[in-house]
Amino acid sequence: MDNGIDIRVPDIGDFSDVPVIEVLVAPGSVVRAEDPLITLETDKATMEVPSPVDGTIVSVSVAVGDKVSQGSVIAVAETAAEEAAPPAEPAPVPEPAAPAAPVAQPAPQPLAQPVAPVVVPEAAEGTVTAGRDGLRATPLVRRLARELDVDLAAVSGSGVKGRVTKQDLLTHYDRGVAPATSGSPAGAGIPPVPEVDFAKFGPVRRVPLSRIKRISGPHLQRSWLNVPHVTHCDEADITDLDAYRRELDEAAKADGYRVTLLSFLLKAAAATLRKHPEVNSSLSGEELVLKDYVNIGVAVDTPDGLVVPVVREVDRKGILEISRELADLSARARDAKLTGADLQGATFTISSLGGIGGTAFTPIVNAPEVAILGVVRSKTSPVWDGESFVPRLMLPLCLSYDHRVIDGALAARFTAHLAHLAADVRRLAL
């Protein structure tokens, strides 16, 4: 089709071979620019790929279960302008010329040699097909099995014709039998959680996990099992900081954004990471990878679960710039509009529950990072100033860290320095 436009996968960060989990259009669908065409599922989140043009979908080149990368063709579309031209020349009614488009995606040839493209087993998510190993499982299940280091041959399939479903795989993994060949602690004799028939005790309802929780669950479990966690707690006096924040927030409201405590914490954490570079590192074998940049992930609460977009080069930005960026990332996170690049490259993470409550908690380190800061709601407490007790606004700080890299003394110095900066915002300018 001469007047067709190839719609391709845009820049999705460093991700490649990303599974397609939803196809939202079909041939004949009329779309506008920014309408979603397909949904992709990466290790960290789901993302929609929008149409770059207004037009009509002529053909769709992907199916559920296919894997795509940047530049992969998703569909062919005719733009509105191009559709207006043909009526002037209806003689070429031979719409067979349109079907000639499949010549670009050889439909007849695969029929001639269906066995050659071993990609056939990776076609559709729900298709019951067997791979070279003779096992019946969808591409998504096979990928998850590789990530969890599970031998699919050891998993009992409950699906059609013995297909191994995702639930079969996760149940097998939870019982601790999965990583039989793995040397990691994840497979070392973890006792299974007993199956319980909860319906014996009363009515029950089963609700599927959101995609975000299905993706993040195995990652959190890997981190918890492989990272020796310790949590150090401290407090920061943010009385003066909060007063200044309120002044900035009043001015910012007129411009459509807010200045929250989190912006100051990001800035203070960046300065503290610069002072203690071991906390801004990752463990690689017997070496530490010390990063000369400070990108901080921020856990954002969405209807489907937590996602962690990344604010880059925090140490180079001011409070107002950080506040605007946080507002934008949070809004796109709640609307499921984050891109792959938005979720990559963090060197440290902050998880704030201050808007909800709590007195302390133990956040799970987001490996391969080596530390994560958890903060909860601040409260006014009596603090001794040497002569009397005075009311001060105190913020609890909870630093979880990888004890292979960070010892208790370093953790204490880190949180003490962070609290020192938060107590006087003027220090953030030094």
Query: DSSP 3-state assignment of 107?
Result: coil
Q: Which is the catalytic residue, given 276, 403, 417, 420?
A: 403
**CA proximity to 172, closest of 200, 208, 135, 144:** 144
HSE value, Cβ hemisphere, 13 Å, CA-based, for 290: 7
Strands 348-352 and 371-375: parallel
Any catalytic annotation for residue 403?
yes
Q: What values do phi and psi take at 216, rounded to 5?
A: -75, -25
Q: Is residue 322 a contact partner of residue 248, using CB atoms and an 8 Å limit?
A: no
- DSSP secondary structure code for residue 421 in this structure: H
- Indicate if the alpha-carbon torsion angle 200, 157, 41, 190 is positive or negative: positive
CA atoms within 13 Å, Cβ hemisphere of 197: 1
Say if residues 64 and 124 touch (Cβ distance below 8 Å): yes
Q: How many helices (H) and strands (E) does the chain have?
A: 9, 19
Angular region, 304: left φ>0, alpha ψ -120 to 50, beta rest: alpha
Give the C-alpha separation, 398 to 375, whole Å: 6
Q: Which residue numbers are catalytic?
A: 403
